[in-house]
Amino acid sequence: MRGFQGNNRFPVLPVISRVLREHYLLLALGLLLSILLSLCLLDGSPILPNLSLLVISPLLLLNILFACFFSVYVRQKSLREQRRLYDIVCRITENGSEAFFPTLVIQLGDFLGADYVHVGRFADPRGDILKTLAVCRDGQLEDPAEVEVAGAPCVKVFEGVCWSAGRGLRHRFPDSALVADLRAVSYMGHPLRDATGEVVGVIAAFGRRHLKHGRRAMVLMAFLAQQASAELERSRVQQAMERMAYYDPLTEMSNWRFFRERLVSTLAKSQQSSQPFGLIFLDVDRFKNVNQSFGHEAGDVLLRLFAERLASTLDDQAIISRKGGDRFFVLLPHLLAVADVRMVAQRLLAMLRDPFEVQGREVYLSISVGIVTCPADGATIATLLAHADAAMHRAKELGGGRIERYVPAMGVASSARLGMERALREALKKGEFLLHYQPQYQLKTERIVGDEGLLHDRLSSCLVGAESLIRWRHPERGLVLPMEFIPLAEEAGLIEEIGAWVLEAACCQLQSWRQWFGPDFKMSVNLSARQLYDPLLVDRITSTLTANGLRPEDLCLEITESCLMGSVQESQQQLQRLRSLGVDISIDDFGTGYSSLSYLRRFPVTALKIDRSFVQDIGGHADHQAIVKSIIALAEVLKLEVIAEGVETEQQLSCLYAAGCRTVQGYLLGRPMAAQDFATLLLNVHCDNQSDRYSLVG
């Protein structure tokens, strides 16, 4: 029993000892008066002293006997009162925390003879609204509710004083709806305080008649208020501990521990009732770009906004949990069909059509969603979670912003992805990566005299650079192309380490080739979004160039449009640092991104690289030809170089040259090859001037 159990002497209830002291004082005064009366009679009767003694002695003896019997009676009455109070406190505290407040109002109402008793916490700083924890009306418990106490006696208690009224309550508080509803005439209330002494609640009793026990009732209420205050504080601490244990501090959603417990209980109910349920696993696409662009503090704000919108989109029966980072689980215990789960997932996609505002800027988000149902997609917790993860990753692999339901083939892909991630980490340790190089040529025309004496325009090319392309020499699969492992490396957080290795290896190779291809030969290196926003990127490039004896203009960094659009301001600042260093910057896969062309003038880039998808159909597709011409015209206005990739036919080459493109690369001119093959084959081509075999008749 909290603060009371085992204490049979009731030191915290001074009312008993106070009552005993009063009664014993009365007895002592009675005896003293009897003795004084006897003495007065003796002094006043000198003639009949013996007769006075005969009269006074029995009276004195009777008075003493009466005092003894009255003392025993008072003692027994006090003990009965003590036992009754003890029983009340025991009943209140022995039922545990859940029944503490309901038992308190019942016992207090019975002791006081009150018609209405409530205990609660003030819901607002002014004390106008009381959120009741327990209510007893006419001996019956009622559901807790919010009670308006404005103008009621509880307002006086809110000021921090114990207050009671034996009559005339309705006249004192004519505006109180609570007093009028109860038709109360008497009141007794005591404040509840927190650990700092601030008034946080009230325990109060109303009666249609005068409340019983008077001052003793007030002392009992003071004691119960002390116990109730301790229970409130204990409950507050327990709730805070539970919130720390079961809720995510950033989004204020349930955390993984709470979600897993609910998932276990939902699965158990599903197995007993044979009722299915749904599970959604979602991941915010490219959220790392947001952290790198705006900073982690702004990223946390964006996550909170996302969580609020997520919670407002789902109904109250859905259980949402933040798994960590930008990943969330949604448990749908009330949905029985796959179509219903998919409909909920579609609502989640639709909620992201509107942007979020972070630091005064609009940010659009997309999510990859994986859905599973139980028992169709798994009958255990581990299986359901693994299959939901596989479905989510499949949605991400397909570009994100979509919904995928689990199919058995995804399980195989998920296992393969985990194995690939482990192998990637081993590849970094064992040095299994290597670079291939694809040549880049500059086109020009030469006018020559043919066999019939006619003039011909011959299109010739000159080797001006190479693009470094990473390969993985897998011990079992052989040579693995970057499209198979680069996305996984980005997801696993390995791309920065791999990118640093590519930069070092490419610069080292360029230094060894400089004596063969001359000082104007350039090396192109691809940068990922995470590398671009790395604050140490400029220092790393500077140290790498210095260590290999290269100039900044010998290096060209290729960046995709999507990297730049993550944060225009941050991208602009980082690119300006790179340009101040002196390296060239090329936008790779230009034309396939979602950037506005008006942004292009803000970026200090030096070249645009036309995506191969436009080059492939340039000869037979008028739209692609128009797009290529527009890109080249835009580059001319902005004084940028244009590079076309994916050139595989002479027709494509001719169309590009006619459109104004002067730098190209592709299988027609040279496939990506190892460093030794590049040096052997292309050095011969360069020296023998054999690359001028592509001609145009003029």
**CATH architecture group of domain 100-245:** 2-Layer Sandwich (3.30)
- Torsion, Cα of 598, 603, 608, 612 (10° steps): -70
Report pLDDT digits (tens) over 513-555.
887 888 889 999 999 878 888 888 999 999 999 999 999 999 9
Confidence of residue 693 (pLDDT cuts 50, 70, 90): very low
The pLDDT of residue 694: 41
The pLDDT of residue 5: 38
The pLDDT of residue 20: 53
Report pLDDT digits (tens) over 375-402.
888 889 988 998 898 899 888 888 888 9
Residue 42 has pLDDT above 60, yes or no: no
Q: What percent of the chain has pLDDT over 90?
A: 27
* Alpha carbon distances (Å) from 255 to 298, 328, 329, 351, 439: 21, 10, 10, 22, 52
- Say if CB 596 and CB 566 are below 8 A apart: no
Average pLDDT, the chain: 81
Number of helices (H), then strands (E), belonging to the chain: the values are 24, 24
Identity of residue 552: P
Report pLDDT digits (tens) over 598-618.
667 778 899 999 888 888 878
- Say if CB 336 and CB 324 are below 8 A apart: no
Residue 77 has pLDDT above 90, yes or no: no
What DSSP state is assigned to residue 679?
I
The pLDDT of residue 345: 92
Q: Which residues pair with 165 in a beta bridge?
A: 187
The pLDDT of residue 272: 87
Q: How far apart are CA 383 and CA 342, in angstroms?
A: 20
Region of poorest pLDDT, from 30-44, 436-450, 592-606: 30-44
Report pLDDT digits (tens) over 476-502.
888 888 888 888 888 777 888 999 999
Q: What percent of the chain has pLDDT over 70?
A: 78
Confidence of residue 16 (pLDDT cuts 50, 70, 90): very low
Could you tell me which of 195, 203, 201, 176 has the C-alpha nearest to residue 123? 201
Q: How far apart are CA 576 and CA 71, in angstroms?
A: 99
Could you tell me which of 409, 408, 432, 436 has the C-alpha nearest to residue 420? 432
**Range with the largest mean pLDDT of 196-200, 231-235, 239-243:** 196-200
**Range with the largest mean pLDDT of 351-360, 435-444, 618-627:** 435-444
Residue 187 has pLDDT above 90, yes or no: yes
C-alpha of 111 from chain center: 50
What DSSP state is assigned to residue 97?
S
> How wide is the angle at C-alpha 29 spanned by C-alphas 28 and 33, nearest 5°?
120
551 vs 445, residue with greater confidence: 551
11 prior amide bond cis, ω within 30: no
Residue 433 has pLDDT above 90, yes or no: yes
The pLDDT of residue 307: 92
Q: Out of 3.30.70.270, 1.10.10.10, 2.40.50.100, 3.40.50.300, which CATH number does the structure's domain 256-406 have?
A: 3.30.70.270
Q: How far apart are CA 483 and CA 390, in angstroms?
A: 19
Report pLDDT digits (tens) over 132-186.
999 999 989 999 888 888 888 888 888 888 888 888 888 888 888 888 888 899 9
Spatial neighbors of 553 by CB under 8 A, at least 6 apart, are: 522, 582, 583, 584
pTM of the model: 0.52
- Say if CB 33 and CB 66 are below 8 A apart: no
Maximal C-alpha separation, the chain: 181
**DSSP string spanning 452-475?**
TS-EEEEEEEEEEEEEEEEEEEET
The pLDDT of residue 579: 92
Residue 330 has pLDDT above 90, yes or no: yes
Q: How far apart are CA 199 and CA 155, in angstroms?
A: 11
**Range with the largest mean pLDDT of 16-20, 406-410, 555-559:** 555-559
For residues 407-432, average pLDDT: 80
Report pLDDT digits (tens) over 260-288.
889 999 998 888 888 889 999 999 988 87
Whose tokens are 């299994």? That residue is 432
CA contacts within 13 A on the Cβ side of 530: 17
Q: Which region, left, alpha or beta, applies to residue 400 given φ > 0 means left and ψ of -120 to 50 means alpha?
A: left
Q: How far apart are CA 388 and CA 409, in angstroms?
A: 13
The pLDDT of residue 116: 94
Confidence of residue 223 (pLDDT cuts 50, 70, 90): confident
596 CB neighbour count, 10 Å cutoff: 10
Assigned fold of 423-690:
TIM Barrel (3.20.20)
244 vs 253, residue with greater confidence: 253
The pLDDT of residue 453: 56
The structural domains of the chain, with segments of one domain joined by +, span 15-93, 100-245, 256-406, 423-690
For residues 347-364, average pLDDT: 87
237 vs 469, residue with greater confidence: 469
Q: Which tokens sit at 101?
A: 């407040």
